[in-house]
Chains A and B, each alone.
Chain A
Amino acid sequence: MTSSPIWRLAPGQRLQHRCWEGECVLYNDLSGDTHLLDEFALAVLQQLAGAPQPVAALAAAFESEGATPEDDAALFDTILADLAALHLIDTLPC
């Protein structure tokens, strides 16, 4: 049986951000990169900064009315994949 991966903020980085009108710039001092994110992606990052967690816990934290669990899972999969591609998050080793 496989367990759901636990997502975390990639270690060793300090992040700064500014948001204006629904869009945010995020500075990662580890890579030196500045990224353009929407406010929801930034909120997911901040949630992971609080504690590593699986998708189910993230979905519960951002529970939206009317959305099915499948909808939420697909949304988080996309956001987490995007943040991982930017090396901002990764999964805890087993």
Chain B
Amino acid sequence: MLTVAALGQPAVAARLRGRGLRLQTGPFITCIRSASPALAAALGRMYADYPVMGEDISADFDVLLRRPRGLRRLVKPQVYFHYDGMEPFQPLPLAQIYPMFEWAMNWCVSSHAHSWLVIHAAVVEKEGAAVILPAPPGSGKSTLCAALVARGWRLLSDELTLVRLDDGRIDPVPRPVSLKNGSIDVIRAWAPHAHLSPPVTDTLKGTVAHMRAPADSVARAREPATPAWIVFPQWRAGAPAEMVPVPQARAHLRLAENAFNYSLLGAAGFASAARLIEQTRTFDFSYGALDDAMAVFEALLAQRR
């Protein structure tokens, strides 16, 4: 299997400039085109272990990140994102090209992958049991996800939980974990060996950096997981780690609120969410320290053994 690392940096940049780099992330193949050396370097750094498909393979998503033409290239240079010829987003400063790529990849899946119930949630797995972490921005979801992954949980996704409509299992789509502001230093201290991208300042989300997905999670990207828990996390400074059961009907509604395509899927979305609720135990989880949180998740796992 050809990977980004095996292909090598010059060839990665050449494919990006030419007919496109066909990158496989979980069930999706994305054809990425860009003349930006910064994006080529970022992909080489953050996607080294990911499979690269041949140019004859058709892609699920066709994306282009380009600099503007004319004088706009020189004055406060920006980057534009195109999807199938459309421009769904406003351009961003060129220095934000890598975060923009990650956000655009999330958008591709959340806007188009309607063969799954797509929940805005991190999801990690250990010993065959997956924990889904749905939460709005600022809840500490990605920080918790990165911390669990650094302690041996398999990363399925830090942002997009793909629930199969036919059997309720979760298909992984492991990609770099997005970290924001204070959480960057928290994870640096928590996992000194984790590979983080250089922080990018002054984005719409503040300062952002990404943590590379572990090679094992990437290698197991075609291995689905069985959901065992849905945990709604909320970080609070100084709070003790506490799990409080959420009544299932209320958890169903909260899951629906966090799904990108629940309404679009109609009755299938309802049935899929209801099955997920029936398959799992549901909790609110507040925490203030990652060490305490790890102990709680290990205890959950121990109860299943």
Contact = CB atoms under 8 A, between A and B. Distances in A.
Interface of A: 14, 16, 18-21, 23-25, 27, 29, 32, 34, 36
Interface string B244-280: 0001111011001000000100110011001001100
B277 A16 contact: no
Contacts of A21: 247-249
B249 A29 contact: no
Contact of B270 (A16, A19, A23): A16
B277 to A, nearest CB: 7
A16 B266 CA distance: 11
A13 to B, nearest CB: 11
11 contacts: A14-B267, A16-B271, A18-B252, A18-B277, A20-B248, A21-B247, A21-B248, A25-B270, A25-B274, A29-B266, A34-B256
A20 B248 CA distance: 6
A62 to B, nearest CB: 21
A36 B253 contact: yes
A29 B269 CA distance: 11
B267 A29 contact: yes
Contacts of B270: 16, 25, 27, 34
Contacts of B253: 25, 34, 36
B266 A23 contact: no
A16 B275 CA distance: 13
B267 A20 contact: no
A10 B274 CA distance: 24
A63 B263 CA distance: 38
A24 B249 CA distance: 6
Contact of B274 (A14, A18, A29): A18
A27 B267 contact: yes
A14 B270 CA distance: 13
A16 B252 CA distance: 14
